[in-house]
Amino acid sequence: FYNELKMLLVPLFFLAMSLANVESVLVQVEQGILIGEVLQRSTGNGQYYSFKGIRYAAPPVGDLRFRDPQPPLSWLGFRSALADGSACPQIELSTEKILNGTNEDCLFLNVYTPELNPKTRLPVMFYIHGGFFAMGTSNSNQFGPDFLLDHDVVVVTINYRVGVLGFLSLDIEEAVGNAGLKDQVAALKWVKKNIAKFGGDPDNVTIFGQSAGGASATLHTLSPMSKGLFKRAIALSGVFFKDFDIPFEHKRRAFLLAQQLGLYTKDPKEAIKFLKNVSVTDLVEAKPFLLYSEGPRREVLELFNFRPIVEKNLGCEHFFIEHPQKLLSENKTNVADLIIGHTTEEGIYKADEQKKAILKYFPDYKEFLVPYKIANKVNATEVLKLGDRVQKHYFGNREISEGTFRNVIKLYTYFNYVYNIYRFAEMWVKTGNKAYFYEFTCFSERNVNGLNGIKYGLRNSTHSDDLRYLFDGSKYNLTLDKESRSYKMIVQTCTLYTNFAKYGNPTPPGFNITWVDYSKNNSYLDIGYELILKTVKRLPEIDFWRRIYEYAGLMFS
């Protein structure tokens, strides 16, 4: 009966699609048949096949809220893959309310391929979005694959649980923690099993991500759960050393969340039963700050309450039960070569939005000049001393004000991004793996965030600007002129990253420069309109932060 029904439905489906002027295509995956579509690339370089909103895990709703992801269910007949899946519930920063249109049933991925049946299977680039582990989505209007597809790779983008739904932990089986990272693993497993049906090579997968996505990529290089699921990694402006990495007192925070929402208990089983039945809106909008200072820190640095943790060993499969820094220092890595780096002025990002809070707290409260992980580790007197050192280094004898806000941007660039990225690279090359280091300096009309720095006298790339040269996001309304300097930078950037995904070497034949790995004299590539190989020029700045961290007992390696 099923085969007869399928034979009846196929012509009816294609009739409906033709009436809608959509060129469709079918692909059989492990769970059933997907209906995708044929689209034209925005670059004018041909067509591609698009499959969106593919379930890679069971809906994490009801009793599955907070739990590790479960395998996706099969279906009879056909399933449309023409639209993005729902984004996971998350906060809208401008309102501090839950973002409209999100849904707990959100574990979807998109697959884009230039060829369904290539002569040789194509390398796969698996993208993990950023967002402080608290927000973000893989929607096609933000992460259009057109630029990368021009280089003969398959592109996969994913949603994963963020914030409280992705990272709450009570150290029990019902809420082990790191559900969001395990969602990423589940998506990688789905790719391993199914990507060949889209022309992709399951044995040549490169994970890449930006900000929290970059941090995720570095965590996958260390997690036993991710072993064998990818070959290479690219971390853009993010490593797990950042202030949004391993939080403290995660269990206490979960109990406080339950208390704020109406249940006082110290019984984790009772707490999780209660939290599974609370509305998702109340969960996402709650602010379980353990310390009063976390509120202002949230305003200034966008630190969020629920993030990756070191899991308690409960006898089940775990993402990690040892701190990732310990795993890295002991060379317990999933062997993989790595591209890692940052934009020129990471701190321009969100500068306008955070300026009011920064100028409210920074001048009077020296603790805000000190990274959060340090402020939580040393006593108040030491925090003040360290704050004085930071202020003298970046502001000299000048006050922190509108007139010195450019210095604030530089401070934020180094203490929240650049220092920790260099620190990770230094440790990574000691494991014997290669790290290709870069500074992304491209600047054009595509630098949607970097353009905000002009008012501060800064014409530099900033956090997430590099994504506009990798993905064609229609939401940004950017024109594409194939004769422009910016298009040359798009082609150049995508060539480097896709060549790395294909061969493990970012420099293709015929380039006028060879990008050597970081272990060779601390070499890095300046990725601008021109490609320039340099050696690390910022050691004094890195050394300053090294001394600050080591004073607090947080060693560089």
Same domain, 477 and 416: yes
Residue owning tokens 């709650």: 286
Same domain, 79 and 11: yes
Report if residue 379 sits inside a domain. Answer: yes
Residue owning tokens 């353009």: 451
Same domain, 306 and 346: no
Cα 414 from Cα 439, distance rounded (Å) = 13
Report if residue 221 sits inside a domain. Answer: no
Per-residue pLDDT in tens (0 to 9) along the chain, 557 residues: 444 444 445 555 554 555 456 799 999 999 999 999 999 999 999 999 999 999 999 999 999 999 999 999 999 999 999 999 999 999 998 899 999 999 999 999 999 999 999 999 999 999 999 999 999 999 999 999 999 999 999 999 999 999 999 999 999 999 999 999 999 999 999 999 999 999 999 999 999 999 999 999 999 999 999 999 999 999 999 998 865 556 679 999 999 999 999 999 999 999 999 999 999 999 999 999 988 888 888 888 767 889 999 999 998 899 999 999 899 999 999 978 999 999 999 999 988 888 999 999 999 999 999 988 888 889 999 999 999 999 999 999 999 999 999 999 999 999 889 999 999 999 999 999 999 999 999 999 999 999 999 999 999 999 999 999 999 999 999 999 999 999 999 999 999 999 999 999 999 988 889 999 998 888 999 999 999 999 876 678 889 999 998 888 877 65
Report if residue 223 sits inside a domain. Answer: no
Same domain, 541 and 439: yes
Same domain, 284 and 407: no
Instruction: From 293, 322, 351, give the residue that closes a domain.
Output: 322
Domain interval for residue 531: 341-551
* Domain count across the chain: 2
CA nearest 498: which of 228, 191, 122, 214? 122
Report if residue 401 sits inside a domain. Answer: yes
Burial annotation 39-57 (CB, 10 A radius, 16+ → b, else e):
bebebeeeebbbbbbbbbb
- The pair of structure tokens assigned to 458 is 């800064």
Q: What is the pLDDT of residue 301?
A: 74
Report if residue 304 sits inside a domain. Answer: yes
Instruction: From 288, 322, 356, give the residue that closes a domain.
Output: 322
Same domain, 273 and 364: no
Report if residue 358 sits inside a domain. Answer: yes
Q: Are the C-beta atoms of 286 and 144 separated by less than 8 Å?
A: no
Same domain, 43 and 103: yes
Q: Are the C-beta atoms of 210 and 130 separated by less than 8 Å?
A: yes
Cα 221 from Cα 403, distance rounded (Å) = 42
Same domain, 428 and 537: yes
Same domain, 294 and 438: no
Q: What is the pLDDT of residue 293?
A: 84
Same domain, 80 and 167: yes
CA nearest 309: which of 254, 237, 378, 266? 254
Same domain, 402 and 305: no
Report if residue 245 sits inside a domain. Answer: yes
Report if residue 217 sits inside a domain. Answer: no
Instruction: From 322, 354, 371, give the residue that closes a domain.
Output: 322
CATH code of 389's domain: 3.40.50.1820
Residue 198 CB contacts under 8 Å (≥ 6 apart), including other chains:
27, 49, 51, 111, 113, 116, 154
Tally Cβ neighbours within 10 Å of residue 261.
Answer: 15
Q: Are the C-beta atoms of 233 and 220 separated by less than 8 Å?
A: yes
Same domain, 307 and 345: no
Cα 220 from Cα 327, distance rounded (Å) = 12
Angle CA 14–19–20, to nearest 5: 95
Q: What is the pLDDT of residue 336?
A: 81
CA nearest 235: which of 336, 113, 112? 336
- The pair of structure tokens assigned to 100 is 């409209």
Angle CA 347–349–355, to nearest 5: 80
